[in-house]
A = this chain, B = another copy of it.
């Protein structure tokens, strides 16, 4: 499966060197994000690139699942515009944004970056915290935060394939 290593080489990284992600790489990550599919091609995703140390420290306080955000030194906050989503549906928007997040994480691995998906949805206190911190308009909904940076840990690649999870032609 060598030709699919671009997928297996991604893992959740929680230790970082603190090095800034170069502008060119960040730009590439934003381009792949917007190459994801979205329901009816509504592209409701929005992104805040965060490389300001003080703001990362504040975001780290809001997100108990991201105690390494300042160490990572880079993040992308993934938001959705509920006014633009298909059917104005949070559920569609979460699927669209999740596909964009996964594209970013796979591309990050290919660019020798580490990443970690920090869930914001569906935790009310995180949604509220991120919304207030960025002073978001009501229609802009925080979905997730991606910690990004250069990994300071060894990468251990393993599949979590489970044959029990697969059915053929029937449940």
Contact = CB atoms under 8 A, between A and B. Distances in A.
Interface of A: 1, 3-4, 6-8, 10, 12, 28, 30-32, 34-37, 39, 41, 43, 45-52, 55, 87, 89, 91-92, 94-95, 98-99, 101-103, 105-107, 110-111, 117, 119, 121-122, 134-137, 140, 144, 159-162, 165-171
A30 to B, nearest CB: 6
Interface SS, A side: mixed
B7 A103 contact: yes
Contact of A48 (B106, B119, B171): B171
A54 to B, nearest CB: 10
B105 A106 contact: no
23 contacts: A4-B31, A4-B110, A6-B110, A7-B106, A8-B35, A31-B161, A41-B160, A43-B160, A46-B165, A46-B166, A46-B167, A47-B165, A47-B167, A48-B168, A49-B168, A49-B169, A55-B169, A89-B122, A92-B119, A99-B99, A102-B103, A134-B171, A135-B171
